[in-house]
């Protein structure tokens, strides 16, 4: 059945170059030279009697034949990796990309419970603020992202819808909102949150909006919550990120009837990645732990 397949090395070289758009980057990933990648691909093109790439000065682009072959090979190599992982009875690492605030406030505090269920699996967390390209970065198994809409070319599992509420140290009276209390908020880096502001919150509450002199902004929502816990003001912050802090009595909501809508925390992964036994176990745990938590 498989006697006529091209050499595995040539297929791996083509898949990496197609995914990364570069012979050099493919060579770096496979620990060979760009010349070796070029030879492998020319050999594959000769065997298939089809041109797979349009070669440019610094990048390469797929021809129609290359575009037809590349996704099939990517799926195939993912399934091979998944099958090997299921066979290997040893400790496994799952690489997860997420935001610093979600990692610190929600994921890390809950992970010990996952390890109790799955002692042979370990989760490695990347909290870089850059958006990981799952198609290019093959070291990342899945990401927990924040957005309103699913990404069409990725498997997408919604976890939690977010609301933004007023939060303060326990014992703070709601009247402080209209007094001279400092109002804490985040300098949002995502356009999806442009409407989340103290001015909008006060408008929804039917109250006079505060002056800018009362508002103190931080670059990370984690810092906003820490300042509120320390009693330095009232935070406009995520109900998702603050849930554990509220449950432990470190923060309390003020005017619970007033909330601004946010977006959704969602698990995203390349198609077929979640078919891996270890990744499926983590995804199931994430859904059970956070799926109904808002």
Is this model's pTM higher than 0.75 or not? no
According to the model, what pLDDT value does residue 140 have?
86
Give the tokens for residue 269. 């992964």
According to the model, what pLDDT value does residue 86 have?
66
Q: For each of the domains in the chain, give its residue range(s) and CATH number, in order of start.
A: 8-87 (1.10.10.10), 92-160+264-290 (3.40.190.10), 162-262 (3.40.190.10)
Give the tokens for residue 228. 């509120």
Interacting residues of 57 by C-beta distance below 8 A, sequence separation 6+? none
User: If you ran DSSP here, which 8-state letter would residue 212 be given?
Assistant: G
pLDDT (tens digit per residue) in 106-126? 999 999 999 999 988 889 998
- What are 55's strand-pairing partners? 60
According to the model, what pLDDT value does residue 88 have?
63
According to the model, what pLDDT value does residue 202 have?
92
In order along its 294 residues, the chain shows pLDDT tens digits of 556 788 889 999 999 999 999 999 999 989 999 999 999 999 999 999 999 999 887 789 999 999 999 999 988 888 888 777 766 654 588 999 998 889 999 999 999 999 999 988 889 998 876 677 777 776 788 999 888 888 778 889 999 999 999 999 999 888 888 888 899 999 887 777 878 899 999 999 998 888 888 999 998 889 999 999 999 999 999 999 999 999 999 999 998 899 999 889 999 988 878 778 888 999 999 999 998 544
According to the model, what pLDDT value does residue 176 have?
86
CA gap 287, 219 in Å, rounded: 29
According to the model, what pLDDT value does residue 294 have?
42
Q: Given phi > 0 = left and psi -120 to 50 = alpha, else beta, which region is 255?
A: left
CA 29 to chain centre: 22
Q: What angle do CA 36, 37, 40 make, to 5 degrees?
A: 85
Interacting residues of 74 by C-beta distance below 8 A, sequence separation 6+? 15, 18, 19, 270
CA gap 191, 39 in Å, rounded: 45
pLDDT (tens digit per residue) in 216-256? 999 888 999 999 999 999 999 999 999 999 999 999 999 88
Contact 277, 271 (CB under 8 A): no
According to the model, what pLDDT value does residue 62 have?
94
CA gap 148, 153 in Å, rounded: 15
According to the model, what pLDDT value does residue 292 have?
59
- What are 70's strand-pairing partners? none
Interacting residues of 11 by C-beta distance below 8 A, sequence separation 6+? 5, 44, 73
Q: Is 144 helix (H, G, I), strand (E, B) or coil?
A: strand
């Amino acid at each position: 059945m498989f006697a006529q397949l091209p050499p595995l090395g040539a297929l791996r070289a083509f898949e990496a170059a197609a995914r990364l758009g570069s012979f050099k980057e493919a060579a770096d990933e496979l620990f060979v030279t760009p010349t070796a990648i070029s030879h492998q691909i020319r050999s594959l093109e000769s065997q298939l009697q089809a041109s797979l790439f349009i070669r440019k000065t610094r990048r390469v682009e797929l021809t129609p034949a290359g575009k037809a072959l590349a996704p099939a090979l990517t799926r195939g190599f993912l399934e091979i990796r998944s099958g090997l992982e299921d066979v290997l009875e040893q400790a496994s690492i799952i690489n997860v990309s997420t935001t610093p605030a979600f990692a610190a406030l929600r994921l890390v505090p809950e992970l010990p419970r996952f390890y109790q269920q799955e002692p042979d699996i370990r989760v490695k967390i990347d909290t870089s603020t850059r958006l990981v390209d799952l198609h290019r970065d093959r070291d990342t198994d899945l990401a927990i992202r924040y957005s309103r809409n699913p990404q069409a070319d990725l498997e997408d599992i919604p976890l939690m819808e977010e609301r933004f509420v007023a939060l303060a140290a326990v014992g703070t009276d709601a009247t402080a909102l209209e007094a001279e209390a400092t109002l804490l908020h985040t300098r949002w880096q995502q356009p999806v949150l442009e409407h989340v502001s103290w001015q909008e919150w006060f408008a929804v509450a039917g109250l006079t909006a505060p002056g800018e002199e009362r508002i103190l902004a931080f670059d990370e929502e984690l810092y906003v919550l820490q300042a509120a816990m320390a009693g330095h003001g009232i935070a406009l912050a995520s109900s998702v990120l603050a849930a554990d802090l509220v449950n432990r009595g470190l923060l309390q909501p003020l005017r619970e009837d007033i909330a601004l809508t946010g977006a959704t925390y969602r698990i995203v992964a390349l198609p077929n990645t979640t078919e891996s036994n270890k990744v499926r176990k983590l995804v199931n745990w994430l859904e059970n732990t956070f799926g109904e938590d808002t």
